[in-house]
Amino acid sequence: MNMNNVSDEEFDCHFLDEGFTAKDILDQKINEVSSSDDKDAFYVADLGDILKKHLRWLKALLRVTPFYAVKCNDSRTIVKTLAAIGTGFDCASNTEIEWVQSLGVPPERIIYANPCKQVSQIKYAANNGVQMTTFDSEVELMKVARKPVFRIATNDSKAVCPLS
């Protein structure tokens, strides 16, 4: 887990200084919103609590890697926090895969988890390095296992047309 060099600007969040409470921040935000035309929604999350729960998971389930379902809450701040601490991500669409990868999450930490995948979506995931996928039925398993193709890298340095 590496949270060094984390800034509130990068995560679009506010860290509470000593002596301040979440209520203080909420009161300030309510005053800001009520005195401006900007009426965007906002929410308050305790990133410290997220970190504690992640550590508790790792301690209790040593061999089980957590995969956060992006569809549950795709807040950039939460996803970036989870990415920074090494969490895996459960992505249900090409858009979610693309977005999580744009935040620097490597494909090894992404599982494509859609209960009814189109073949084009499976290909998209594979073309973007995502190797893990779920299946919830025999039909879904057949989509993944229909024509398995193994790509073997060979030493073709002397080939007229190198393909590896």
- Residue 51 and residue 45 in contact, taking contact as beta carbons nearer than 8 Å: no
- For position 1, what pLDDT does the model report? 42
Lowest-confidence range among 21-30, 98-107, 141-150? 141-150
- Please state the rounded mean pLDDT for residues 31-51: 80
Identify the burial level of 33 via C-beta atoms within 10 angstroms of its C-beta, where 0-12 means exposed, 13-18 middle and 19 or more buried: middle
Distance CA 80, CA 86 (A): 10
Instruction: Report whether 53 contacts 47 (CB < 8 A).
Output: no
- Can you list the domains of the chain with their CATH numbers? 15-145 (3.20.20.10)
34 vs 41, higher pLDDT: 34
Q: Is the pLDDT of residue 42 over 80?
A: no
Q: Sign of the CA dihedral 28, 30, 35, 38?
A: positive
User: Is the model's pLDDT at 8 over the cut of 70?
Assistant: no
Is residue 38 very low, low, confident or very high in pLDDT (cuts 50, 70, 90)?
confident
What local confidence, expressed as pLDDT, does residue 151 receive?
A: 43
Length of the chain: 164
The pTM score is 0.71
